[in-house]
Amino acid sequence: MLCSIPLFIKFGLWQYNKAEQKQALQAMYDRALLSEPVDLPLEFSDVGNWRYRQVKVSGEYTPEHQILLDNQVEQERAGYHVITPLRISRSEKYVLVDRGWVVANADRSILPEIETPAGEQAIVGHLWLPSEKFYSLEAAGAGAGGHEWQLLWQNMDMSRYKQSVPFQVLPMVVRLDPESEAGGYSRQWPRPAERITTHIGYAYQWFGFAVAAVLIWVFVSFRRQGNEQDAN
């Protein structure tokens, strides 16, 4: 019983630290959204410093290498995020633009039809740095080397995407501003702090297990001691 107490405390601290990390990201998010959009840089020395920053960029969508990011839920409905590469004006580089959420068909084998505006688009939004921590069975480089382009993706794997396309892509994604008219869909972007209470709840749960283990050990010890005294 006592051996489990350090483990319970470790799990509790892990969840509490995750909540603190989310709070720090939320503070960064709030500061970034209050700032005026700046021109999107073509080089990033430290992508972490650009997380959630408001940016603006002009260019043309290239839907040939567009993807639908699966397993995206909005208002308890399943759907996809539409992520389209934008060729940056006066540059050979591209940036991915998350244009928002679309609902999935009841028959998941039928993908939604996505309309993409032609011509130069003025993009305003905030930067998203996709996580590299996920498990995927998807093939790296799908769509490269003349293979048919894979539209449906399970994760926003930037490394895989870069290997799959014949052009240079910036390492961050622009999440299109809800007020933008540059071909956007539903854009209720998640806030970093949305799961803070969940992490804190799990932390208290693990700490509660540790306290319960101590109380059970104390109870069993006293009871055993009492039985030994009765036997004598």
Higher-confidence residue of 17 and 145: namely 17
| DSSP string for residues in the chain | -TTHHHHHHHHHHHHHHHHHHHHHHHHHHHHHHHSPPEEPPS--S-GGGGTT-EEEEEEEE-GGG-EEEEEEEETTEEEEEEEEEEEETTSSEEEEEEEEEEEPPSSTTSPPP-----SEEEEEEEEE---S-----SPTTTT-TTPPP--EESS--HHHHHHHSSSEEEEEEEEEPTT--SS--B--PPPGGGGHHHHHHHHHHHHHHHHHHHHHHHHHHHHHHHHHHHH-
Position 135 scores a pLDDT of 53
Higher-confidence residue of 191 and 172: namely 172
Average pLDDT over residues 182-204: 77
pLDDT single digits (tens) 49-103: 888 889 999 999 999 999 999 999 898 899 999 999 999 999 999 999 999 999 9
Place of tokens 């539209």: 151
Higher-confidence residue of 160 and 196: namely 160
Position 148 scores a pLDDT of 77
Average pLDDT over residues 197-220: 76
Assigned token pair, 42: 């073509």
- Asked whether residue 118 carries a pLDDT value surpassing 80, the answer given is yes
Average pLDDT over residues 201-210: 77
Contact call for residues 165 and 65 (beta carbons, < 8 A): yes
- pLDDT confidence tier of residue 195, bands split at 50, 70 and 90: low
Q: How high does pLDDT run on average in the chain?
A: 83
Position 13 scores a pLDDT of 75
Average pLDDT over residues 132-152: 62
CA dihedral 66, 71, 76, 77 (to 10 degrees): 50
Position 230 scores a pLDDT of 58
pLDDT single digits (tens) 143-188: 544 567 889 999 999 999 999 999 999 999 999 999 998 999 999 8
Dihedral sign from CA coordinates of 150, 71, 138, 172 = positive
